[in-house]
Amino acid sequence: MTTIREKKSAQGFFLFCALTLQEVFRIRSNRHVSSMVILRQILFTGYEALPLISFLALAIGGLVILQGTNLLAGFGQGIWVHIVLVTVVVNELSGILTALVVVARSGTAISTELGNMRVRREIDLIESFGISPIGYLVLSRVIGVVVAMVILVLYFNFVAVLGGWLFSRIFNQLEFQAFMSDFLSVLKLSHVLSSLLKSISFGVIISILSTYHGMRVGHASTEVPQRTIRAVVSSIFVVILVDMVITWLFWIFR
C-alpha cells in the first residue's frame, strides 16, 4: 500500500515537473499576467533577504579567515588561507547557506501561500479564467526564485570575501590589494562555474518542491503546514544531495 502511494506521489511530482517545463516554452503567451508575480518574487526572495545574507556572509568570511589563519599559521602556511576561503566559501558555503536561507524564507512562504490559495479556491478561480495555474503561479515563482538565488549567491561570495579581508585587516594588517591579489590568484573559472551551477540548481529545486507541495494541498487548511514541512525537508535533502553530486562532478573533471 505504501509503495503504491509513494509511486503515485513520485509520478505526480514528475508530471508536475513536465507541466512546468512545458509552460517554459509557452511563457510568451502569459508573460503579460505573470511578469508582476516574477518581479514580486525576486523582490521577496532576493532583495528582502539581503540583510540576513549580508550578516551571514560577513561573519562566515571573517570566521573562515580567522580560523584558517590560526590553523595554518601553526604550520607556517598562513599565506594559503585564501585557498580555504575559495574552497570553503565560494565552492560550498555560499550555495548551501543561501539555499537554507531561501528555503526558510521563500520555500515556506511559497508553499504556504499556494496551499492557502488552494484552500480558498483561488486556484480554481484562475483555472476558471482558462489561465494555467502552473504558468501563472508556478513558473513565475520558479523564475523569480532562480534569478534571486543566483544574485544572492554572487552577493554572498562578494560580501564573504569582503568579510575575509576585514578580519585579515584587523588581525593581520593585510592591505586590500594584497588580499585580493592572493585571493584572485587561487580563484579559478571552475570555482565560479561551480558556484553558478549550484545556485541555479538550488533555485530550481527549492522553487519546484515548494510550489509542488503547495499545489498538492487539498481543501483542508490543516494540510497547509503539513505540506510546508514536507517542502522544507525535501528541499534541504535534495539541495545537499545535488550539492554533493555537482562537487563530485567538478572534482572528477577538474
List residues binding other proteins (CB under 8 A): 30, 32-33, 36, 113, 116-117, 120-122, 124-131
**Shortest Cβ distance from residue 221 to other proteins (Å)?**
14
**Shortest Cβ distance from residue 133 to other proteins (Å)?**
11
Assigned C-alpha cell, 233: 525537508
Do residues 126 and 137 make contact, with C-beta atoms less than 8 angstroms apart? yes
**Shortest Cβ distance from residue 119 to other proteins (Å)?**
11
CB nearer to other proteins: pick between 98 and 140: 140
- What is the C-alpha to C-alpha distance for residues 108 and 216, in angstroms, rounded to an integer? 14
Query: End-to-end distance of the chain based on CA atoms, in angstroms?
Result: 45
CB nearer to other proteins: pick between 48 and 175: 48
CA 30 from centre of chain:
25
CB nearer to other proteins: pick between 139 and 174: 139
Nearest to 79 by CA among 168, 166, 159, 192: 168
**Shortest Cβ distance from residue 215 to other proteins (Å)?**
14
CB nearer to other proteins: pick between 48 and 124: 124
Concatenate the DSSP letters of all residues of 119-145 into one string: HTTHHHHHHHTT--HIIIIIHHHHHHH
